[in-house]
Structure formats: structure tokens, C-alpha cells
């Protein structure tokens, strides 16, 4: 009898199928096929080891998707975002989302707005950064000045900007945090900006502290620098998280295209935009800010298509799901979702304050729905101990040092997003209290358990 015969047989029980009776092949493709139901159940069982994403309080990314989103994602499985000729309606939906976001971020251009979907804020940041670099170089050429090494000025940025700088040969001038600061302070800029500065990145929702950098004040400082030196330095706002929060819960906060100096904005649809992974957005204030040389026109998919992206083929479902969420929730729906997350973050901040051992760096009231805190003094255990203990209950609550300038301060961060309920957070707070009693009794003094990882 053939050894690999299961393909055409009905399997009585998944766990008595040949594939299930030894460890799964890990280095070589198996010789023959197996019943898909067997493989599905075995893989599903293995993936349970990944943990429960609802308890992952380290990520900004969407972990809750409704049934309609799941259905639309399945419906769109074969749609390729890049193939705008074959899937013109998917392409049209992308354009609608760009226009809606440009409007939400107060772009002056109306339908003239330029933007695109990406795989996330990282790709959007690369595109935004490239446009800045190209415009800077053209301006230097036009002025008959030599182009030196371009630099990008920023505060404590997410790793995507470090990647941009290294991949595209730009010097990253990261301004260290001042004592007590949660991001750039505008008065620091004058020391860092010069004729080779391609732009300043301002962050709406700093990865490390969850606070907003003061974009309007940063623009004001750059106005003053221009008045003094003639340097006209554009701002790119990295609104990965805040781009889908601020317009709904703080509509009066001026951080977007209302500021003339803001040339481009990126946001992660798959964070507070509530779309599934992988969805990001890049939007320019007006079409002329995106150099034509960066756009490629391809004709081998039928029709002529402009493309500005780091990748080529990618799924269309995320963009469709983004449009679904925009239609389904509307402005008021997003406001309610984000406000309820803000309220839950502030509830957690209150519970943490009552525990009397933490100092809050950010309490969830003015920027992202999140809290960031450190230990007040030395109670004989560390935040790393708390992280480790919480993990035994399935909670992922990261501890990490702040970036340059405040790197001796270790903080812990909890992100509240759609799908994380008040009840869940009350259970987390109970667990933190239980961990604290345990640590008080038994001590502990751990360091980082593994490389810290920020989204
Ligand atoms: C998450 C994040 C990024 C990277 O975004 P992805 O969508 O994960 O690629 C960039 N900047 C900030 C501020 C972020 O929070």
C-alpha cells in the first residue's frame, strides 16, 4: 500500500492522520499531499501558541475585525491593488479614501489632492521622505547651490524613519528628549536645521510616550527660522496613530494641512483607522509637492497606470475594508469609538494612580488612547518584573527605556484600541494589583527579558 495515500481518503480523525502522528515537516516539503482539513486543524492548533491578540496591549494595530470586514476581505482575495485596469472599482475606492482623508486633514486642494494607499505607515514614510529629498535636491539645483548630504530632523521617531534615512542615504538628526519632555520641543529645532535639511518630521502620537508633538508650534519655530535665515523647511507629519484619532476627538487641534508648512502626512489605516493589516496612507498637500520623477507609468497590465510605491502587487481587501469602516462609522462613529478608548485609557490611568507606585508620563487625556508610566522611586522591583509577571496571565505590556536624552527612564505602555473593553482593562488593573502584592512579598529585580519591540 502506498505510504502517501491520504489525499483521496476521508480521514476518520485529524489526530490519527499520518501527518498528525509525528512532528510536522519543518525543513523539507513533504513528499505527498494531505487532506486539507487535517492540515488546517494542525496549523490552527499550532497558531494558538501565538497568544491572544486582544491581550496584546503593546500594539497599535487593529486586532478586532467585524464579520462584514472579514467577508469583504474574503471577497477581495483575488484583487490586486496595483492592477488598476483589471480592478478599476478597487482603484476607485482607493481614490475615494485618499480624498476623504485629505478632507479630514483639511487639504486645501479638493479633488486635486495627491495621495495613495500603502502597506502601512512605514512605506508611507519612505514615500513622504523621498518626495522631501527630491524636492530639496531640485531646489538646490535651481538655486545653483551644491547639494551636500541631505538631513532629516526629528525627535524620537519610530524605526521606519531610521530605515528611511539608512536606505536612502539621508542623515537622521534625532533631537534628544529634554528632561520631562515626551517629544520634540520647538525651541530645539534651530540648532539642527540647515540648508541641507530636507524636512522636519513631527509625530502625532510618539511611539514611546503616546503623546502628540506640538505640530503648530513646530511650524511656528520653522517660520521664525525662515525669517532669520531664509531656509524654508517643510514638515511631514507622521500621524501613524493620531491621524485617525485627533480629527475625531480633538477637531480643534491644528496639526494638519491647515498649517501651510505641512507638506505631507502619513497614517496607518491598520491602527486607529480600524482597517485590517496591511493598510497605510500617504497624502500630499497638493499634487505639485510630489515630484513627477517618482511616479512610474507602466503599461504591461493593460492600460497605463501611474504607480508610486515600494512594492508592486498587493491585496486590495484592506483598502476596501478601510472604505467600509469610513462608510459604516462616519465621523460620529469614529468619534465614539476613539472617545470610548480615551475614556478607558483614563480609567486605567486612575487605577494606576491609586496603586501609588507609578508616575504617569501620559494619562490618556489629550493625545492617543493610551497610558505611559514609570515607577516612582525604587520599590525593590522593576517594570520588567511586572511585564514578566503579567505575561503569565497572557497580557503583553512592554517595558522599555525612553530614547536618547531620557534613556535612564524605563517606562511601560498600554494601548487601548477598538475591541478592548472597559471590563478587560479593569481585569488588567486587578492583575497589576495582584502582581504588585506578589512582588512586594517576594521581591524581584529583572532586566529586559528579550529585545524590546515597538510598533
Ligand atoms: C506604527 C508607527 C509607524 C510604522 O507604521 P506601520 O503602519 O506599522 O508601518 C511609524 N510611525 C509611528 C509614529 C508609528 O506609531
SS3 174: strand
Of ligand 1's atoms, which has the minimum distance to the CA of residue 122? 9
Given a cut of 80, whether residue 166 has pLDDT beyond it is yes
Whether ligand 1 lies within 6 angstroms of the CB of 120 is answered as yes
Residue 217 preceded by cis peptide, ω within 30: no
- pLDDT tens-digit readout, 43-102: 999 999 998 999 999 999 999 999 999 999 999 999 999 988 889 999 999 999 999 999
Task: In whole angstroms, give the CA distance from residue 123 to residue 129.
Answer: 10
Give distance in angstroms: CA of 164 to centre of ligand 1: 13
Beta strands in 207-261 (DSSP E): 235-238
Whether ligand 1 lies within 6 angstroms of the CB of 241 is answered as yes
Give distance in angstroms: CA of 310 to centre of ligand 1: 16
Instruction: Walk me through the domains of the chain, giving residue ranges and CATH numbers.
Output: 2-50 (no CATH), 64-455 (3.40.640.10)
Give distance in angstroms: CA of 10 to centre of ligand 1: 46
Strand order in the sheet with 410-415: 358-362, 370-375, 410-415, 399-401
Q: What is the pLDDT of residue 442?
A: 84
Q: What is the CA radius of gyration of the chain?
A: 24
How confident is residue 443, by pLDDT bands cut at 50, 70 and 90? low
Residue of 271, 278, 280, 368 with the most ligand 1 atoms within 8 Å of its CB, for mutation: 271
What cell numbers appear for 280 in the block?
A: 497605510
Given a cut of 80, whether residue 301 has pLDDT beyond it is no
- The average pLDDT across 10-16 equals 80
Given a cut of 60, whether residue 5 has pLDDT beyond it is no
Residue of 58, 63, 160 with the most ligand 1 atoms within 8 Å of its CB, for mutation: 160
Whether ligand 1 lies within 6 angstroms of the CB of 243 is answered as no
Regarding beta strands 262-268 and 280-284, do their DSSP bridges make them parallel or antiparallel, or are they unpaired? antiparallel
Whether ligand 1 lies within 6 angstroms of the CB of 205 is answered as yes
Whether ligand 1 lies within 6 angstroms of the CB of 62 is answered as no
Give distance in angstroms: CA of 407 to centre of ligand 1: 21
Task: In whole angstroms, give the CA distance from residue 422 to residue 424.
Answer: 5
- The average pLDDT across 396-410 equals 96
Give yes or no for a contact between 384 and 332, defined as CB atoms under 8 angstroms apart. Answer: no
- pLDDT tens-digit readout, 113-128: 899 999 999 999 999 9
Give distance in angstroms: CA of 132 to centre of ligand 1: 19
Of ligand 1's atoms, which has the minimum distance to the CA of residue 280? 7
CA atoms lying within 13 Å on the CB side of residue 216:
5
For 80, which DSSP code?
Answer: B
Atom 1 (ligand 1): residue with closest C-alpha? 455
What cell numbers appear for 244 in the block?
A: 485617525
Amino acid at each position: 500500500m502506498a505510504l502517501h495515500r491520504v489525499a483521496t481518503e476521508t480521514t476518520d480523525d485529524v489526530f490519527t492522520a499520518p501527518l498528525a502522528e509525528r512532528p510536522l515537516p519543518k525543513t523539507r516539503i513533504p513528499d505527498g499531499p494531505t487532506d486539507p482539513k487535517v492540515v488546517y486543524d494542525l496549523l490552527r492548533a499550532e497558531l494558538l501558541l501565538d497568544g491572544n491578540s486582544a491581550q496584546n496591549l503593546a500594539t497599535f494595530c487593529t486586532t478586532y475585525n467585524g464579520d462584514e470586514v472579514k467577508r469583504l476581505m474574503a471577497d477581495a482575495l483575488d484583487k490586486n491593488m496595483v492592477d488598476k485596469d483589471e480592478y478599476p472599482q478597487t482603484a476607485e475606492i482607493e481614490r475615494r479614501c485618499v480624498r476623504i482623508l485629505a478632507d479630514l486633514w483639511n487639504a486645501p486642494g479638493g479633488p486635486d489632492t495627491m495621495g495613495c494607499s500603502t502597506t502601512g505607515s512605514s512605506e508611507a514614510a519612505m514615500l513622504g521622505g523621498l518626495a522631501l529629498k527630491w524636492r530639496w535636491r531640485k531646489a538646490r539645483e535651481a538655486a545653483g547651490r551644491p547639494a551636500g548630504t541631505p538631513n532629516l530632523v526629528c525627535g524620537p521617531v519610530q524605526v521606519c524613519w531610521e530605515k528611511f534615512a539608512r536606505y536612502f542615504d539621508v542623515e537622521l538628526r534625532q533631537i534628544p528628549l529634554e528632561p520631562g519632555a515626551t517629544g520634540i520641543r520647538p525651541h530645539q529645532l534651530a540648532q539642527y536645521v540647515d540648508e541641507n535639511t530636507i524636512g522636519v518630521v513631527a509625530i502625532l502620537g510618539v511611539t514611546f510616550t503616546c503623546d502628540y508633538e506640538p505640530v503648530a508650534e513646530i511650524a511656528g519655530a520653522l517660520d521664525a527660522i525662515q525669517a532669520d535665515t531664509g531656509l524654508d523647511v517643510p514638515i511631514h507629519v507622521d500621524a501613524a496613530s493620531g491621524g485617525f484619532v485627533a480629527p475625531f476627538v480633538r477637531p480643534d487641534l491644528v496639526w494638519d494641512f491647515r498649517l501651510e508648512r505641512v507638506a505631507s502626512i502619513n497614517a496607518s489605516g491598520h491602527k486607529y483607522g480600524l482597517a485590517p493589516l496591511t493598510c497605510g496612507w500617504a497624502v500630499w498637500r497638493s499634487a505639485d509637492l510630489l515630484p513627477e520623477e517618482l511616479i512610474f507609468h507602466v503599461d504591461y497590465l493593460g492600460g497605463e497606470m501611474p504607480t508610486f510605491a515600494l512594492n508592486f502587487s498587493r491585496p486590495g481587501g484592506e483598502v476596501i475594508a478601510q472604505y467600509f469602516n469610513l462608510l459604516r462609522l462616519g465621523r460620529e462613529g469614529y468619534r465614539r469609538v476613539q472617545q470610548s478608548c480615551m475614556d478607558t485609557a483614563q480609567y486605567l490611568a486612575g487605577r494606576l494612580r491609586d496603586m501609588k507606585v507609578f508616575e504617569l508620563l501620559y494619562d490618556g487625556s489629550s493625545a492617543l488612547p493610551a497610558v505611559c508610566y514609570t515607577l516612582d522611586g525604587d520599590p525593590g522591583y522593576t517594570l520588567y518584573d511586572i511585564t514578566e509577571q503579567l505575561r503569565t496571565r497572557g497580557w503583553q505590556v512592554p517595558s522599555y527605556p525612553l530614547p536618547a536624552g531620557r534613556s535612564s527612564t524605563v517606562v511601560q505602555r498600554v494601548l487601548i484600541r477598538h475591541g478592548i473593553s472597559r471590563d478587560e482593562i479593569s481585569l488588567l488593573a486587578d492583575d497589576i494589583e495582584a502582581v504588585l502584592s506578589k512582588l512586594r512579598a517576594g521581591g524581584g529585580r529583572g532586566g529586559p527579558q528579550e529585545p524590546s519591540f515597538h510598533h
